[in-house]
């Protein structure tokens, strides 16, 4: 590990020299690429430098304790030694975590797809609640959100909704949201006051570009049709809605939110690229080793990941056994505690797998 850290520190300094080179600065594309690589390395280098500094301090303190000291000073040195030893252990853990290979998709934007599952109208209403939760979370993190396609239910909410979230590290935090979200509450449509259980499926896909996955447009069938539902005066009057079918995989994408057929085609193509890329990525991961799949779970749409229990005011994430009794704040986008726990658990499991 330490040989790797020495090499990273050397490379980091080399990158620092390059990004300050006037010739490199003049080439903005190259400069941005090198700057990102430099920024990614910086946390590892800073932790390693602090590790070395702490280790040197421990050596000096041990040497001091071998000399004649008055009692008060000896106690002070012992306290500092204990603190530095504790810090050294924490730094070793931190460095090990930082050296775990980063998910190449972590910096990508995400396409989120929410669909009502079991529960009919109540599931659609909760799909609307989840959309608002993610929209509020994006707002808190200063990410941008763009609705791509919706299918509204008669009583409100969504049978399904897909939207793009644009922002630094969006996928790194939202990728754990894929799966089945269960809600337990008394529906507004229920006069008897009985608690119902409904489900909503969430899929989080990294936004894919043409360099990430190849799609031959000869393999894509494009159909246009008249949009349906609520959406303004142009809906139901022009063939602006678009359906794309990727024949090799059978993936079907529909977009009808925009008045322009061209815009709907652009949106549908974005979703198609993301879904094909996600399918290829999951097939690749499964081929490498099924044992490597994180126990936290980042992609199985059939996995029940979380329960929102309104009568008890609690939210439980079943993958990490985390229960929080502040359902209103969470549905208002206060998701960081859940996200941080999932990220930490995932990294710890990856670290253990690396050591096995």
pLDDT (tens digit per residue) in 127-137: 999 999 999 99
- Which residues are bridge partners to 252 per DSSP? 245
Distance CA 209, CA 107 (A): 13
Measured in degrees and rounded to the nearest 5, phi and psi for residue 329 equal: -65, -40
Distance CA 28, CA 23 (A): 10
Does the pLDDT of residue 71 top 80, yes or no?
yes
SS3 293: coil
Distance CA 349, CA 340 (A): 14
More confident residue, 252 or 299: 252
Write out the H or E segment, with its range, that includes residue 70: none
Residue 288: predicted pLDDT = 47
Distance CA 226, CA 181 (A): 32
Mean pLDDT of 99-118: 87
Could you tell me the two tokens for 151?
């299918």
Of 283, 271, 149, 278, nearest in space to 220 by CA: 271
Residue 334: predicted pLDDT = 95
Concatenated DSSP letters of 122-166 = HHHHHHHHHHHHHHHHHHHTT-EEEEEEEEE-TTSSEEEEEEEEE
Does the pLDDT of residue 327 top 90, yes or no?
yes
Asked if 111 and 274 touch (Cβ cutoff 8 Å), the reply is yes
How far is Cα of residue 293 from the mean position of the Cα atoms in its chain?
Answer: 16
Mean pLDDT of 182-190: 82
pLDDT of 227-237, one tens digit each?
Answer: 765 544 444 45
CA pseudo-torsion sign 293, 317, 204, 224: positive
Could you tell me the two tokens for 340?
């941080």
Rounded to two decimals, the pTM is: 0.70
Measured in degrees and rounded to the nearest 5, phi and psi for residue 13 equal: -70, -40
pLDDT of 1-21, one tens digit each?
Answer: 778 899 999 999 999 999 999
Does the pLDDT of residue 44 top 60, yes or no?
yes
More confident residue, 201 or 214: 201
How far is Cα of residue 198 from the mean position of the Cα atoms in its chain?
Answer: 24
| Alpha carbon separation from 315 to 89, 118, 201 (Å, rounded) | 34, 19, 16
Does the pLDDT of residue 338 top 70, yes or no?
yes
Distance CA 322, CA 313 (A): 14
Does the pLDDT of residue 255 top 50, yes or no?
yes
Residue 282: predicted pLDDT = 75
Per DSSP, helices labelled H in the chain are 2-19, 22-26, 28-65, 71-98, 121-140, 170-174, 261-288, 327-331, 336-355
Q: Which residues lie below 8 Å from residue 6, measured CB to CB, with a gap of 6+?
A: none
pLDDT of 75-96, one tens digit each?
Answer: 999 999 999 999 999 998 888 8
Would you place residue 299 in the very low, low, confident or very high pLDDT band (cuts 50, 70, 90)?
very low
Mean pLDDT of 348-354: 74
Residue written as tokens 């936004």?
A: 207
Work out the angle between the directed axes of helices 71-98 and 28-65 (0-180°, nearest 10): 150
Residue 348: predicted pLDDT = 81
Mean pLDDT of 239-260: 86
Residue 86: predicted pLDDT = 94
Residue 2: predicted pLDDT = 79
């Amino acid at each position: 590990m330490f040989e790797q850290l020495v090499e990273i520190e050397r490379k980091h300094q080399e990158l620092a020299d390059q990004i300050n080179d006037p010739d490199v600065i003049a080439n903005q594309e190259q400069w941005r690429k090198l700057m990102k690589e430099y920024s990614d390395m910086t946390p590892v280098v800073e932790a390693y430098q602090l590790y070395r500094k702490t280790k040197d301090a421990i050596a000096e303190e041990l040497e001091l304790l071998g000399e004649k000291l008055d009692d008060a000073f000896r106690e002070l040195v012992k306290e500092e030694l204990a603190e530095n030893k504790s810090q050294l252990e924490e730094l070793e853990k931190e460095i090990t975590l930082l050296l775990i290979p980063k998910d190449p998709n972590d910096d990508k934007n995400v396409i989120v797809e929410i669909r009502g599952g079991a529960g009919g109208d109540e599931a659609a209403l909760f799909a609307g609640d989840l959309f608002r939760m993610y929209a509020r979370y994006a707002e808190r993190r200063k990410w941008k959100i763009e609705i791509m396609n919706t299918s509204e239910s008669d009583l409100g909410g969504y049978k399904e909704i897909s939207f793009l979230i644009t922002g630094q590290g969006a996928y790194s935090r939202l990728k754990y949201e894929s799966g089945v979200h269960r809600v337990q509450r008394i529906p507004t449509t229920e006069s008897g006051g009985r608690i119902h259980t409904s489900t909503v499926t969430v899929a989080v896909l990294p936004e894919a570009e043409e360099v990430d996955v190849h799609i031959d447009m000869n393999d894509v069938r494009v159909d246009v049709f008249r949009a349906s539902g609520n959406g303004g005066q142009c809906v139901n009057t022009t063939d602006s809605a678009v359906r794309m079918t990727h024949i090799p995989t059978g993936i079907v994408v529909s977009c009808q939110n925009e008045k322009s057929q061209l815009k709907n085609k652009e949106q549908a193509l974005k979703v198609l690229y993301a879904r094909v890329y996600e399918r290829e990525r999951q097939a690749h991961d499964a081929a490498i080793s099924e044992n490597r799949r994180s126990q936290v779970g980042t992609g199985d749409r059939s996995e029940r990941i979380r329960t929102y229990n309104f009568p008890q005011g609690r939210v439980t994430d079943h993958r990490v056994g985390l229960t929080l009794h502040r359902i209103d704040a969470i549905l208002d986008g206060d998701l960081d505690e859940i996200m941080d726990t999932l990220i930490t658990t995932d990294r710890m499991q990856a670290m253990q797998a690396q050591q096995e």
